[in-house]
Structures are given as structure tokens and as C-alpha cells.
């Protein structure tokens, strides 16, 4: 009996320490600003992804359509199987309303309506999805539907899903939609609006959760792309074919926030260097960081900051012009970089410049 109790205790500790992630067929956790991988298990295994497909659907729609564009449900959108917002044939909603129906309750009918509106047809829209995946370096992703219902040659990986989600989360509208727990949109021929409740339970159960998308079919299993913010750091991840999808995603997020912190090497606007200037109205210009230089580090890691800039710069540049770069490395790997820009404009002090300035001053005096 004591031996049995000891075994139970061993497995409890084993699970608590973050080893209970093997149930997912594939999993990846990524820090958003740098794209650094914080955890990976079978990251490049090609698998069906169910409705997490709709992350790319929403991204393509946002990049190719106005939010107030009218989107009409055609014959192909009406009655699509699976989850639905129950569009009627010929019903029209704005693109923004369709996107809420797509991402909160995973409307397959909304996916088809969006696809036909943007791409002219489902096939045309899927071509846009595949082109965008290629642009993002997602070589193990291929789309044949805009909704993720089972289809041949429709697959992705946890790593590619994180890359796609990271790009989508750069869009403020996408970010707002996927973090919304409840929304209402019109319902044609009804006396009341549609009430949309987000299927992502992490939004209500995990501190700092901000998205992103659930997915389920028998073929794909339970799939979840998730994100959360804590301590100034945003972490996103994906699990594919994961029976305990919400709990395991929460455990992965906990592990990331416990083991990593966001290190800031430079603040936006911080002066880094005084660069010599040749032939200008000033003999030098301050180089400043155009944004914050940050990267996620574990407790036992030390980042090194490096710089690139010319020995000197010929005058004739404007304030904000890129003149150098700062970057952070850990063990030789560059995790983040930020442009260094001119703090002020330095005109060319040539004869023609002086002549033009003299003429401007003369005109000013005459007036």
C-alpha cells in the first residue's frame, strides 16, 4: 500500500513539474515580440488543425477587405456543416460582424461567405491563404478550406500555427476580436440579435489570456492556439490533437511565465552613440533606438548587446533615418534587433546648400 501511495506521489510531482505535455501530438510555445521558441514538442509534425485554420482566414480578410464592407452569404455558405452562425441565403453582414462570428463561435458558414467575398471563390481564397503562409515561412502548411473541416491535403504544424498567429496578432483588429468573450451582431428576420460567446475558455479562466482560437474535429482532435500577457511579456502557443487542451495550454503558459522574463536592453528613444558627420551643419548626430530592444531570457541566461554603424555618415539625412542597428544575442543566437535612427536632421553644408540658405534668408528679410 505504501509503495502504491509513493507511486501516486511520484506521478503527481511528475505532472506538476510541467511534464504533462506529452498528450498533445504537437505543441509549441513562443514569445511574441521576438518569435523565440520557449517550448517545443514535435513542432514540425504535419497534422490537421480543424478551426484553427480560421486564424489565417481572418488574417487574409483583414488584409484584403474593409471592415465595413458588406459580405453576403451565398448558396455555398448557407447550411455549411459543423459550427455555424446560421446565416440565411442572401443575408448580408459587415466584414467585421462576419469576423466576430468566425472567430468567437467558429462559424463555418461565415468562413465560406468571407472566402467568396475576398477570393471570389473558396479555391481563390485558399490560394491567398497558401501564398500568405509561404510568405511567413510556413513550409509545412497547406490550406484547401477556409474553415478547417476535414479535407485531404489540409494540414499545418504547431510551429507554423504560432508563426501565423504571431503575424495575425500584430493586427489590432484581430487582437481585439480574439480577446472578446461576448459580442452581438444582427440576425436577419429575427426580433433579436445573435449573441456570440467565445469558445476559448482560457479567456475567462486564465489570468492575462488574450486569445486566440479553438478547433475540433474527430480527425484533428482538440486543437488550441492561445496567448496571454503577464509582466510586459506576451506568450503565444499551439497544441494539436490535445485531449486536455485548456489545462495543458494553461500549464504551458505557466511554465513560460515562470521560467522566462522579458529583458530590456534599450528603451525606445534612448541615445546609444554620437555618430561623426562629414560635410554637414553639425559634426555629429545622436543615434537613438527606434523602439525598445527586448528579449525573453531564462534566469540562467545572459544577453549580449551588439551594434552596427558606419565610422561616419555623410550629411544630408533626415531625422528618423536608419543609420545603424542594435541587437541582442544569447549563446551566439540573435534574438532581437532594433534600428538606430538619427535623432535630428543634418543638412549638407555644401556651397549650394549655403547659397540656398542665403537666398531663403534674403527673401525672409525682404518680406
Calpha distance 171→343 (Å, rounded): 28
Whether 213 and 230 have beta carbons less than 8 Å apart is answered as: no
Dihedral of alpha carbons 343, 347, 349, 354, sign? negative
Concerning whether 106 is annotated as a catalytic residue, the answer is: yes
Q: Which residue has the cell 440576425?
A: 187
By three-state DSSP, how is residue 53 classified? helix
209-217 vs 221-230, strand pairing mode: antiparallel
| Partners of 326 in beta bridges | 307, 338
* Residues near 43 by beta carbon (within 8 Å), at least 6 away in sequence: 26, 27, 28, 37, 157, 158, 159
Burial status of residue 85 (CB atoms within 10 A of its CB: 0-12, 13-18, 19 or more): buried
Concerning whether 337 is annotated as a catalytic residue, the answer is: no
* Residues near 222 by beta carbon (within 8 Å), at least 6 away in sequence: 214, 215, 216, 239, 241, 242, 243, 245
Concerning whether 51 is annotated as a catalytic residue, the answer is: yes
Q: How far is CA 128 from the centre of its chain?
A: 18
Catalytic residue among 33, 84, 106, 179: 106
Catalytic residues: 51, 54, 106
Amino acid at each position: 500500500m505504501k509503495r502504491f501511495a509513493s507511486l501516486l506521489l511520484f506521478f503527481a510531482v511528475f505532472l506538476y513539474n510541467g511534464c504533462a505535455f506529452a498528450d498533445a501530438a504537437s505543441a509549441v510555445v513562443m514569445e511574441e515580440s521576438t518569435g523565440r521558441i520557449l517550448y517545443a514538442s514535435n513542432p514540425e509534425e504535419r497534422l490537421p488543425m480543424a478551426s484553427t485554420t480560421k486564424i489565417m482566414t481572418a488574417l487574409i480578410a483583414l488584409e484584403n477587405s474593409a471592415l465595413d464592407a458588406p459580405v453576403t452569404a451565398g448558396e455555398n455558405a448557407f447550411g455549411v456543416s459543423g459550427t455555424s452562425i446560421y446565416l440565411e441565403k442572401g443575408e448580408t453582414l459587415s466584414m467585421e460582424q462576419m469576423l466576430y462570428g468566425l472567430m468567437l463561435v467558429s462559424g463555418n458558414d461565415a468562413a465560406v461567405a468571407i472566402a467568396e467575398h475576398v477570393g471570389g471563390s473558396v479555391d481563390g481564397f485558399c490560394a491567398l491563404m497558401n501564398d500568405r503562409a509561404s510568405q511567413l515561412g510556413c513550409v509545412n502548411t497547406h490550406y484547401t478550406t477556409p474553415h478547417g473541416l476535414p479535407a485531404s491535403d489540409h494540414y499545418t504544424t504547431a510551429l507554423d500555427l504560432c508563426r501565423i498567429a504571431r503575424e495575425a496578432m500584430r493586427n489590432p483588429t484581430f487582437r481585439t476580436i480574439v480577446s472578446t468573450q461576448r459580442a452581438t451582431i444582427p440576425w436577419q428576420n429575427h426580433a433579436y440579435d445573435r449573441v456570440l460567446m467565445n469558445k476559448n475558455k482560457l479567456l475567462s479562466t486564465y489570468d492575462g489570456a488574450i486569445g486566440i482560437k479553438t478547433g475540433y474535429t474527430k480527425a484533428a482532435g482538440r486543437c488550441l492556439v492561445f496567448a496571454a500577457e503577464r509582466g510586459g511579456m506576451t506568450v503565444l502557443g499551439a497544441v494539436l490533437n490535445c485531449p486536455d487542451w485548456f489545462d495543458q495550454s494553461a500549464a504551458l503558459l505557466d511554465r513560460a511565465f515562470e521560467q522566462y522574463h522579458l529583458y530590456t536592453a534599450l528603451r525606445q528613444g534612448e541615445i546609444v552613440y554620437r555618430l561623426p558627420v562629414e560635410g554637414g551643419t553639425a559634426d555629429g548626430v545622436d543615434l537613438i533606438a527606434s523602439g525598445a530592444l527586448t528579449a525573453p531570457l531564462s534566469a540562467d541566461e545572459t544577453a549580449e548587446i551588439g551594434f552596427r554603424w558606419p565610422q561616419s555618415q555623410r550629411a544630408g539625412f533626415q531625422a528618423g533615418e536608419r543609420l545603424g542597428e542594435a541587437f541582442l544575442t544569447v549563446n551566439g543566437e540573435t534574438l532581437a534587433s532594433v534600428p538606430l535612427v538619427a535623432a535630428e536632421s543634418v543638412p549638407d553644408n555644401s556651397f549650394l546648400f549655403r547659397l540656398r540658405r542665403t537666398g531663403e534668408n534674403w527673401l525672409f528679410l525682404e518680406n
